[in-house]
């Protein structure tokens, strides 16, 4: 039960990131979330939308794993691992904040799923 809730939270985080990157990147909300200048946000909005789509795929994979129930555990493990790796990479290459927003929740959900 706890693992299911945590996986759903990770999926919700990635759906929120999808919205921020695909639809709100060039708005005051998106610029504030990512600490972007107006010019930079305008110049990179297509790249951000592409990145948002990838976050949506991660969320979809996690929700698919949950929907499959017990037989979806391998799917969920795979997508949580993808989120964890992406979060660590993002923390190293872009912003340390990503470690806490993306990687840490994925790690906690992954541990909960493995020890259930």
Per-residue model confidence (pLDDT) at position 116: 86
CA distance 39 to 44: 9
Tell me what pLDDT residue 109 has.
98
pLDDT at 69: 96
Q: CB of 115 within 8 A of CB of 82?
A: no
Q: Residue 83 and residue 57: Cα distance in Å, rounded?
A: 10
For the chain (116 residues), the mean pLDDT of every run of 10, in chain order, is 97 97 96 95 96 97 98 98 97 95 97 95
The per-residue pLDDT for 12 is 98
To 10 degrees, the CA torsion angle through 109, 112, 114, 116? Answer: -140
Domains of the chain, by residue range, sit at: 2-115
């Amino acid at each position: 039960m706890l693992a299911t809730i945590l996986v759903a939270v990770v999926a919700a985080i990635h759906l929120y990131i999808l919205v921020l990157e695909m639809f709100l990147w060039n708005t005051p909300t998106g610029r504030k979330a990512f600490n972007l200048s107006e010019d930079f946000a305008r110049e990179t909005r297509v790249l951000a939308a592409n990145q948002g789509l990838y976050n949506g795929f991660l969320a979809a994979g996690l929700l698919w794993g949950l929907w499959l129930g017990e037989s979806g555990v391998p799917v969920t493990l795979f997508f949580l691992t993808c989120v964890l790796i992406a979060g660590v990479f993002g923390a190293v290459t872009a912003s340390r904040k990503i470690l806490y927003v993306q990687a840490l929740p994925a790690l906690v959900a992954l541990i909960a799923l493995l020890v259930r």
